[in-house]
């Protein structure tokens, strides 16, 4: 395992991060523990969760799976922002009242006394960034949080946060977690150059586009049982990418999943794509990407299917109006 620096922190993390969104939904406790143990055995040391995943159940399951010495081998990340109580108007958001309470609740569910990377799950225009940063700075000073990051922020919002942190002498964000994959490369326009310039780690979520890049969708065929997507709705541009990916992966002797993840890991500035397997079998399929080398010819092939900075599927939204966590 070749580890990578988490931005400017000096902390070393594995080039794939294990996401736990399926815990408590598609994955039970026993399988979650098997997955985490296998991930650690293979050299992985970076795990990401969030308080809203199954309304806290994912954090609880992650904490149980990491009980004991395993916890200290892991760079553990979680997130706050999403609504945790339908009857409390303050049980969500990026203001101090919610963040202080949400952090304490996450610590309890995770069974730990510190969070390595505490991330704001989405921006919130109605809350000034200095309100958010002051609360996060206090959590760091209290020893509850080591580092702070963002998720799905526009480039200007990350830049605003960095400027305010500098102005007020507060701890700054060290990472950003955007949607980034072969079907949506828009982060390459502004966000990726910003993160490279200011030393932020980039932790792409949905690196397989919700399963679209795994090779399971075939033109003219029904989607496999339990699939999230209806292939009849895919555009010609999306099919061009999926079919190009399938042909190219076969020519390299690897799966579409492994190639898509390997390509993403090879992009300048990317630290650790966040994989979301729901079983040990899927974890193994994802980890196979670590054995795939990306060449200049591979990069040119991808650019022929989808040009840099463009998209065929709409994942990277920077307007942040109503969203599913509210």
User: In this structure, are residues 158 and 195 in contact, taking their beta carbons and an 8 Å threshold?
Assistant: yes
User: In this structure, are residues 241 and 312 in contact, taking their beta carbons and an 8 Å threshold?
Assistant: yes
Give me the catalytic one of 53, 118, 180, 315. Answer: 53
- CA–CA gap between residue 65 and residue 31 (Å, rounded): 10
53 a catalytic residue: yes
- CA–CA gap between residue 323 and residue 274 (Å, rounded): 21
The residue written with tokens 């809350």 in the block is 127
12-13 and 4-5 as β-strands: parallel, antiparallel, unpaired? antiparallel
At residue 310, φ and ψ (nearest 5 deg) are -110, 180
- CA–CA gap between residue 158 and residue 209 (Å, rounded): 23
Q: For helices 57-65 and 96-110, what crossing angle results, to 10°?
A: 40
Q: Catalytic residue numbers?
A: 53
């Amino acid at each position: 395992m070749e580890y990578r620096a988490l931005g400017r922190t000096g902390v070393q993390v594995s080039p794939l991060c294990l996401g736990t969104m399926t815990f408590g939904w598609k994955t039970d406790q026993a399988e979650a523990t098997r997955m985490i143990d296998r991930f650690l055995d293979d050299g992985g040391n970076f795990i990401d969760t969030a308080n809203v995943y199954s309304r806290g159940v994912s954090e609880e399951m992650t904490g149980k799976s990491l009980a004991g010495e395993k916890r200290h081998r892991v760079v553990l990340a979680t997130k706050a922002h999403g609504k945790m109580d339908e009857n409390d108007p303050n049980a969500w958001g990026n203001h101090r009242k919610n963040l202080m309470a949400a952090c304490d609740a996450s610590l309890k569910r995770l069974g730990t006394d510190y969070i390595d990377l505490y991330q704001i799950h989405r921006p919130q225009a109605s809350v000034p960034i200095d309100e958010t940063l002051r609360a996060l700075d206090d959590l760091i000073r209290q020893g509850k949080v080591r580092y702070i990051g963002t998720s799905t922020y526009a480039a200007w919002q990350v830049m605003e946060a960095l400027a305010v942190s500098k102005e007020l002498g507060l701890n700054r964000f060290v990472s950003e977690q955007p949607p980034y994959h072969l079907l949506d490369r828009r982060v390459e326009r502004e966000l990726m150059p910003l993160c490279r310039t200011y030393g932020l780690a980039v932790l792409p979520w949905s690196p397989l586009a919700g399963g679209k890049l795994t090779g399971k969708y075939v033109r003219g065929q029904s989607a496999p049982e339990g699939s999230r997507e209806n292939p009849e709705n895919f555009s010609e541009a999306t099919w061009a990418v999926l079919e190009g990916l399938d042909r190219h992966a076969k020519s390299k002797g690897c799966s579409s999943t492994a190639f898509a993840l390997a390509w993403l890991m090879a992009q300048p500035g990317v630290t650790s794509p966040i994989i979301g397997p729901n079983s040990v079998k899927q974890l193994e399929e994802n980890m196979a990407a670590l054995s795939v080398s990306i060449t200049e010819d591979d990069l040119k092939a991808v650019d022929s299917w989808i040009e840099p900075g463009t998209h065929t599927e709409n994942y990277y939204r920077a307007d942040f109006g109503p969203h599913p966590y509210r």
